[in-house]
A and B are shown apart, each in its own frame.
Chain A
């Protein structure tokens, strides 16, 4: 007992002593070199431009605001990549499990090839060897869509919100809430009474019908199609993805997609064959078997490793700094170079990543608890 206490006290003293030693050195160095450890600089004008931003930004904005731009850019690329990588991963997993030998081989080659090449090499390839070597705007590639690929990035057709968009959004929100509630009520009623109430069909009708009605009721279309058109020097209209964003997106999606595919495949393989056969024997259709029996059980296995894949993706997005996409780390490093406040800015960067990691894992853990197997 006494030994344990001694061990605890010794380790605590060692760690605290170590921290004090570090802090002391920092304070001394700060004093000697005139470093500022405070956060007073956050309000000063940043003075540097950023390649792209979700919110309006110019060099006259403050350092703090520039940092916010970086956080938003990280979130933007992470969210879009997560959605696309999940879709790609599911597709590749199903392909690898396919009974068609050729399809399954193609998926295996993709997965084994991509997972064994460092992400940074892939990012450099996409950025320096592909996106920066595309033809000039005048001679840009045209893909069906139309999607235009050139040195300036990727231009594609997009939906632009008009003045009535917000009014229509209310319809959409009401439809989502209402259909969700209806589904729950009807489903519970069906379970309680055993009478067929068509919960899914009713919910779908509401979910599609209400926004559709709203589309015509708000007067004027809420979303207008905008097509990129080649002007004298550049495209106008449409959605533009910068080469940096496009390369980062391509790299992250293809890389994480390969890892997600293995996660999904393991999940599907983890469902006992007997489950499938038993469900068929009960008279469920193949679609119902997948939806009601296989998928919920596979999900339980898939979710935890999938969480860590999403977290990895978010952390990997920091490689953006090496291809010049102004993400959180890029902006943070620029601020360090401009303002010379290495320690406080670095604290901000670490804290931002930690908050992102922790929030994601908390949300996913709550979800995980909901789908977890309830044992008797």
Chain B
């Protein structure tokens, strides 16, 4: 799992810079040699990188296709839906900052700054279109800091309870899907085929749906594997081990090619849904193992005490064991979300146009960009890195805040 470990190498108090240098870089002749070699390596790598990025690299394939990278083929006239969803996220993030404080603060601020930066990008956000959507888009992005602050001030008034806020996030998730999808024959919200979803939007959706849907399934599987009923235990164990024993590629392949054969003729699921189903099943098996870890960490005394005060088996499970177990595994679940977020790239296998697939399409779309693979894949790598690194940073902070392993 991706976590950040702090290496205690800041200059400790009481050492002046020269002493610190001597202690950490030049303590022995071997250390001095190492320092010089590493400094040389760093110098040449950075020099090469900067010269390439600033002079040789040609970023037109990226700059000209920002919309594709963001949402894929999602129709331009329906883009306001994506904008609305982003606005809701910004507002809720501000609200969470007000209610929960702590790590959320960093993220709310990062979100506001990020959107502002997008609004100030020095090139056309909608190449090939009139200036107007570009301007509206910029105005939309620049409004996000305000939304965050509004949410924050509302959150501070303690009108919103923590549990209520959690419910809001869940509702907004369902709303997101409904809004993006639209309804058949509706005038205001016409149906947008899932085949048109793409880019970063699809990447996030795949990971989110995977983790949210796999959560209840994973808990059930974990309870099944933990239960004393041999039949239930056998089936759950078989499912978990089977899924964990094969690569995600095969699961996705099964969901998209084999599954349609297994279903009756009249039951047809579209490609994106099939991929989501595959990701969910895959995530559920790993989720189950995470939850099992939490279940095993609950002392037996808790269960015995619950029985002693007269709770039934299911009451013990729901009120005593699960809440404690889930609290322990939150960081592991965040870690799993990050892994799943990175694994969404495999959806390219079954023809989904998520972030990486957009990159590949863009490269093939113009003969002049045929050899621009370095630029495009570096751009995608940096995007992924920004998201996953900040998420693992958050997860680490969360771990500290929850005091996992300390109690």
Contact = CB atoms under 8 A, between A and B. Distances in A.
Given A11-B232, A316-B247, A121 B381 contact: yes
A322 interface: yes
Contact of B389 (A25, A112, A342): A112
Contacts of A129: 373-374, 377-378
Given A121-B345, A318-B249, A358-B245, A101 B25 contact: yes
B134 interface: no
A73 to B, nearest CB: 15
Of B27, B228, B232, B392, most A-chain CB atoms within 10 Å? B232
Given A101-B25, A104-B7, A118-B342, A25 B39 contact: no
Given A8-B230, A118-B345, A346-B258, A329 B249 contact: yes
Given A11-B231, A346-B258, A118 B384 contact: yes
Contact of A354 (B27, B228, B246, B371): B246
Contact of B2 (A32, A116, A128): A116
Given A118-B384, A121-B377, A315 B229 contact: no
Given A124-B356, A128-B373, A350-B250, A118 B343 contact: yes
A196 interface: no
Most buried by B among A35, A101, A316: A101
A137 interface: no
Contacts of A26: 261-262
A124 B31 CA distance: 37
A343 interface: yes
Nearest to B9: A101
A101 B261 CA distance: 58
B183 interface: no
Contact of A22 (B31, B242, B262): B262
Interface string B18-55: 00000011010001001100110110000000000000
Nearest to B251: A350
B380 interface: yes
B389 A106 contact: no
B19 to A, nearest CB: 13
Contact of B229 (A4, A124, A316): A4
Contacts of B34: 98, 100, 102-103
B235 interface: yes
Interface in A85-99: 96, 98-99
The range of chain A's interface size is: 35 or more
B253 interface: yes
Contacts of B250: 318, 329, 346, 349-350, 353
Among B246, B247, B250, B380, find the residue whose CB has the most chain A CB atoms closer than 10 A.
B247
A116 B389 CA distance: 6
Interface string B333-348: 0000010001101101
Given A101-B25, A346-B253, A350-B250, A120 B346 contact: yes
A15 B229 CA distance: 14
Interface in B1-19: 2, 4-5, 7, 9
Given A100-B24, A112-B389, A121-B380, 17 more contacts: A4-B229, A11-B231, A25-B263, A26-B261, A29-B265, A99-B31, A100-B34, A100-B38, A102-B42, A106-B38, A106-B41, A118-B343, A120-B348, A121-B356, A133-B374, A315-B246, A318-B249
6 contacts: A7-B232, A11-B229, A124-B377, A132-B373, A319-B247, A350-B246
